[in-house]
């Protein structure tokens, strides 16, 4: 297949390009390096050093014997986007080019507005460009499990049957996002669903859980093929942060009581799922939703798992509770479905503890890079507005 990855320089985009090329797909990519800029803006860097795009593209060619067709461009530049779609004529477009951080979107008005402008208008441009240039292409759009929030009932995959005043319908499951970033993804989902219904486009909207992991098999043997690994309060997701904290002896930063429950999956499995969705496209006019995660854990269970694996490797790890900078329930019901990918043949290959062990091994050599940015661990971006560092709390003694 001819596959275009939007956001090919990112944490997921780069490994996905490598994996799809290893499966003999022809891969092209667009990026304008915003992720690299945001990480500098928040005063951090990738714990695992990554290479320039020129070096990455050369390594790709050395590894696979073919070029990755790359363009430096922004999805807000509609004529650029349209022209590249016309040139490459993709069968599949995998859209990973959004600002992915909840805390970043909550910094202030400017960051909230930037997030929604970048994500919602960028994605709207993708829909229009597909309609105008390649209406039969399959759009795989990265949404988030966070679109659903944490309702007190089970979460289906996108839609549910509902009976109201004696009548029944199949309707979108209510979205209750918990940051301006997560709401931007809800707006994208609505626009994508509408474009499929109105123009007959085909799309898969991936409600992905939290991804963790430091490498995939296709990166082994060439350091230029590594993907980034962020650990700051905005772009580092919870397990990746815990791993970096563990390697430098910083206590694991559990926010609040730590009962927040989410769906998680390792990087390698996320790439496997996106490949399955690519190779099994939706039908013309079909808008389908996949919940993409392996298992649900509380934050406290994750911290305990990191501590347990660390102990096996003779790494002593402390866990501390900090007052929660986010406004979110830290004890709640959470039971989402995840059947659609399984029906396509998905079998998770990597489990939590094996992956934690691999991550600790991968990050140990980069301890000094993490230490250089030790200030990024204690969060100060608060959902109620303003910035104030979270303090350690004894959750047994203090209501949080
Ligand atoms: N948390 C901690 N300590 C930390 C970091 C986070 O306790 O040091 C807690 C947070 O309070 C939250 C949970 O861990 O309850 C998850 O936080 P996160 O930063 O790992 O993930 P989140 O903000 O939900 O966003 C991440 C990605 C986002 C993706 C989403 C999937 O940044 O792009 O959409 O995961 S999901 O969470 O399923 O919506």
Residue closest by Cα to atom 15 of ligand 1: 260
Q: Which domains does the chain have, with CATH numbers?
A: 2-228+266-291 (3.40.50.720)
Q: Tell me, yes or no, if 275 is annotated catalytic.
A: no
pLDDT > 70: percent of the chain: 99
Q: Is the CB of 10 under 6 A from ligand 1?
A: no
Q: Is the CB of 238 under 6 A from ligand 1?
A: yes
- Residue 102, pLDDT > 50, answer yes
Chain CA centroid to CA 319, Å: 25
Q: Is the CB of 189 under 6 A from ligand 1?
A: no
Q: How far apart are CA 371 and CA 368, in angstroms?
A: 5
Q: Contact at 8 Å (CB) between 235 and 104?
A: yes
Phi and psi (nearest 5°) for 392? -65, 140
Q: Contact at 8 Å (CB) between 99 and 112?
A: no
Cα distances from 259 to residues 27, 102, 254, 262, in angstroms, run 41, 18, 9, 10
Structure confidence at residue 395 (pLDDT) = 84
Burial code of 374-397, b = ≥16 C-beta within 10 A, e = fewer?
Answer: eebbbbebbeeeeeeebeebebee
Structure confidence at residue 396 (pLDDT) = 81
Q: Tell me, yes or no, if 261 is annotated catalytic.
A: no
Structure confidence at residue 221 (pLDDT) = 84
Mean pLDDT of the 98-117 span: 98
Q: Contact at 8 Å (CB) between 60 and 219?
A: no
Q: Tell me, yes or no, if 327 is annotated catalytic.
A: no
Confidence of residue 398 (pLDDT cuts 50, 70, 90): low
Residue closest by Cα to atom 39 of ligand 1: 146
Burial code of 41-69, b = ≥16 C-beta within 10 A, e = fewer?
Answer: ebebbbbbebbebeebbebbeebbeeebb
Q: How far apart are CA 29 and CA 31, in angstroms?
A: 7
Q: Note the pLDDT tens digit of each residue in 113-167.
A: 999 999 999 999 999 999 999 999 999 999 999 999 999 999 999 999 999 999 9
Q: How far apart are CA 297 and CA 139, in angstroms?
A: 30
Q: Note the pLDDT tens digit of each residue in 289-301.
A: 999 999 999 999 9
Confidence of residue 246 (pLDDT cuts 50, 70, 90): very high
Q: How many CB atoms lie within 10 A of CB 24?
A: 9
- Tally the C-alpha atoms within 13 A of residue 138's C-alpha that lie toward its C-beta: 21
Q: Is the CB of 130 under 6 A from ligand 1?
A: no
- What DSSP character marks residue 33? -
Residue 379 is encoded by which pair of tokens?
């969060």
Mean pLDDT of the 87-112 span: 98
Structure confidence at residue 147 (pLDDT) = 98
- Residue 248, pLDDT > 60, answer yes
For ligand 1, the distance from its centroid to the CA atom of residue 318, given in whole angstroms, is 20
- Residue 77, pLDDT > 80, answer yes
Phi and psi (nearest 5°) for 268? -60, -40
Q: Is the CB of 253 under 6 A from ligand 1?
A: yes
- Residue 400, pLDDT > 80, answer no
Residue 259 is encoded by which pair of tokens?
């009962």
Q: How far apart are CA 346 and CA 90, in angstroms?
A: 24
Residue closest by Cα to atom 28 of ligand 1: 100
Residue recorded with tokens 């659609």: 340
Give the residue with greater pLDDT, 86 vs 350. 86
Q: How far apart are CA 362 and CA 354, in angstroms?
A: 12
Structure confidence at residue 399 (pLDDT) = 53
- Residue 397, pLDDT > 80, answer no
Q: Which of 9-23, 224-238, 382-396 has the lowest mean pLDDT?
A: 382-396
- Residue 234, pLDDT > 60, answer yes
């Amino acid at each position: 297949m001819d596959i275009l990855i939007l956001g090919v320089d990112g944490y997921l985009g780069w490994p996905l390009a490598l994996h799809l090329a290893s499966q003999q797909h022809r891969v092209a990519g667009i990026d304008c390096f915003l992720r690299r800029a945001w990480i500098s803006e928040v005063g951090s860097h990738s714990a695992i050093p990554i290479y320039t795009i020129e070096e990455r593209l050369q390594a790709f060619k050395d590894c696979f014997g073919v070029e990755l067709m790359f363009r430096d461009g922004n999805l807000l530049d509609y004529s650029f986007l349209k022209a590249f779609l016309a040139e490459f004529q993709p069968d599949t477009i995998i859209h990973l080019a959004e600002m992915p951080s909840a805390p970043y979107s909550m910094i202030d008005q400017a960051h909230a507005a930037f997030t929604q402008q970048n994500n919602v208008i960028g994605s709207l441009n993708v829909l229009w460009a597909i309609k105008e240039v390649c209406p039969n292409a399959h759009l795989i759009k990265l949404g988030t499990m966070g679109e659903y929030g944490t309702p007190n009932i089970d979460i289906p995959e996108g839609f549910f049957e509902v009976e109201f005043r004696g009548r029944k319908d199949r309707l979108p499951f209510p979205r209750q996002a918990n940051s301006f970033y997560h709401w931007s993804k809800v707006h994208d989902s609505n626009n994508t669903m509408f474009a499929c219904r109105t123009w007959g486009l085909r799309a898969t909207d991936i409600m992905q859980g939290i991804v963790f992991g430091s490498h995939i098999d296709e990166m082994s043997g060439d350091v230029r093929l590594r993907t980034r690994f962020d650990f700051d309060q905005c772009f580092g997701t919870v397990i990746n942060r815990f791993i970096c904290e563990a390697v430098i002896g910083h206590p694991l930063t559990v926010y609040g009581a730590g009962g927040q429950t989410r769906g998680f999956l390792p990087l390698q499995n996320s790439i496997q799922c996106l490949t399955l969705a690519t190779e099994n496209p939706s039908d013309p006019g079909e808008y389908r939703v996949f919940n993409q995660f392996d298992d649900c854990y509380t934050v406290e269970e994750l911290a305990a798992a990191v501590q347990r694996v660390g102990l096996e490797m003779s790494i002593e790890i402390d866990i501390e509770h900090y007052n929660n900078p986010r406004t979110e329930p830290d004890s709640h019901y959470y039971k989402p479905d995840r059947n659609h990918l399984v029906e396509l043949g998905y079998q998770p290959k990597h489990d939590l503890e094996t992956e934690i062990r691999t991550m600790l091994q991968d990050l140990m050599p980069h301890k000094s890079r993490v230490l250089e940015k030790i200030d990024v661990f204690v969060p100060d971006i608060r959902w109620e507005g303003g910035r104030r560092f979270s303090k350690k709390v004894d959750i047994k003694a203090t209501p949080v």
